[in-house]
Amino acid sequence: MTAPLIKGYCPGALRPMQSGDGMVVRIRPFNGRLRRAHADGIATLASVHGNGMLDLSSRANIQLRGVTQDSYAPLMEGLGHLGLLDENEAAESRRNILVTPFWQTGDETPALATALTQALGAADAPAIPGKFGFAVDTGAAPVLQRASADIRLERDAGGGLILAATGAALAKPVTSLTVIQEALDLARWFVRTRDNQTRMAALLGQGTALPEGFIIPRQTQTYLPAPGYTPLGAMVGLAFGQLPVETLASLAKQGSLRMTPWRMVLVEGARDLPDVAGVITDPADPLLRVVACTGAPACAQALAQTRPIARRLARHLGPEQILHVSGCAKGCAHPKPAALTVTATAQGFDLIHNGRASDAPARSALSPDDIIKAL
Ligand code: SF4
C-alpha cells in the first residue's frame, strides 16, 4: 500500500492547501462566530471563487474548496472586506481557538476569546506548533473536552475560572485578569519542554509534570452534542460537515452562526427553523454517526469516493454504531478508532472493527454490497 502523504500543517486562508479539486481555503471565524453578513458573504464568495461547496472542520472552521490561482486573489480581497482575515500568516496559524457555542450575552466568554486572539496575534506570541490549539470552554460545564485543543480555559465545579492542559486531571486556578497571560505562559512552557511532541497530551503522556499550581480538579464533560433547540437557538447538523453555498445562505437568513467542532452549527436565536435543504434536525439521523473524508475526486490521495458509500451504509448501521469511511489509510476525518471503519484501497475496501483507517482489516477487497452484507 502506498503510504499517505502527511502535509503537517492545517490550511488557512492566508496559507491555502492544494487539493485534488483546487485550493482549500480555510476561514477561522473570529470567536467561533459568523455574523449573518459574514455567512452570507462567504456563501457568495464560495459560489463565485470556489466550487460552491463548503466544509466545516473539526476545529470549528469553515473552508472553501475548488479555489484556483486566478480566483484566490479576489477571494482574499472579499474575505478582507468582510473582516475575516488575520494580519499575517503567523498570527492566523497560531489562532487555533475553539469557543463554546453556549455563551450568553454579557458573560465573559467572548471577551476571553477576543483577548486570547489578540495575545496570539502579537509578534512575541509563543512559537507553538501548527496543530496546537486552545479551547475557551467557559460555560458552567465543559462541552469541548472531546474536541481537539491543548490548553483549555474552563470552570471548576464552583464556577471559578481554571486553566487546564489536555491530558491532566488537575487545573490551575486563575482569574479573568490573569488567565490569558497564564495560558501564554503554559504555551511557552510547552515549547521549552517538548522534544518532538506537537501536542500537549503527548508531552504529558510520557510522564512530564506540569509546572506548579495545577491543583484544582476539573469537571468531566457530560454534554453530548445533538441537533435540537437550545435556549440560545437551533443546533443543526450537516452530513459529513459539508454544505452547499445555498444551505449556508439559507441558514444565514435565520441568524448569526456559532461554529462547533461537531459538524453542527448553532443558529443564534432561531426558535422555529424552516426546512433548510441539507441540514439534519433529527438527533436520531444515522448520518450524524457517520464520518467520511472528502475522498475522490477532491482529494488527490483518495483511492475511491467516500460519501456516496457512506450514505448507503448509514442506513444499515446498528444503534449507537459509529462508521468511518476513509478514502485512504491516512484517516484524516477521524484519527481515532471507530466501531466500524471502511478504508479504500487499490483492491476495494478494507473493513476494520474497533480500529483506525490504517489498522489491520477483518476483511479486505470488499465491494460496497459486500460491506452491507458484512455489517
Ligand atoms: S483520508 Fe481522505 S482526505 Fe485524508 S488524505 Fe486520505 S483520501 Fe484524502
DSSP string, 91-133: HHHH--EEE-TT--TTSSHHHHHHHHHHHHHSTTS----TT--
Cell 472528502 sits on residue: 294
- Label residue 157 by pLDDT band (50, 70, 90): very high
Q: In terms of residues, how long is the chain?
A: 375
> By alpha-carbon position, which residue is closest to atom 4 of ligand 1?
332
Q: Please report the pLDDT score of residue 208 as a whole number.
A: 97
For 70-127, the pLDDT digits (tens) are 999 999 999 999 999 999 999 999 999 999 999 999 899 999 999 999 999 999 999 9
Percent of the chain with pLDDT over 70: 98
> CA–CA separation, 20 vs 22, rounded Å?
6
Q: Which atom of ligand 1 is nearest to the CA of 296?
A: 7
Q: Please report the pLDDT score of residue 118 as a whole number.
A: 97
In the three-class reduction of DSSP (H, G, I as helix; E, B as strand; rest coil), residue 207 is classed as: coil
Output the pTM of the full model. 0.92
Sheet of 97-99: strand order equals 97-99, 134-136, 151-155, 161-165, 170-173, 216-217
What is the domain partition of the chain in residue ranges?
Answer: 91-217, 286-374
Q: Please report the pLDDT score of residue 176 as a whole number.
A: 97
Cβ–Cβ under 8 Å, residues 117 and 31: yes
Q: CATH fold of 286-374, please?
A: Sulfite Reductase Hemoprotein; domain 1 (3.30.413)
User: Residue 349 Cα, ligand 1 centroid: separation in angstroms?
Assistant: 14
pLDDT above 80 for 7: no
pLDDT above 50 for 66: yes
Q: What residues line ligand 1, using a CB cutoff of 6 Å?
A: 4, 293-295, 299, 301-302, 326-328, 330-332
Q: Please report the pLDDT score of residue 20 as a whole number.
A: 86
pLDDT above 80 for 2: no
Helix, strand, coil shares of the chain as percentages rounded to 5? 25, 25, 50
User: Residue 22 Cα, ligand 1 centroid: separation in angstroms?
Assistant: 15
Averaged pLDDT, 153-175: 98
Task: Residue 200: name the closest of 209, 180, 115 by CA.
Answer: 209
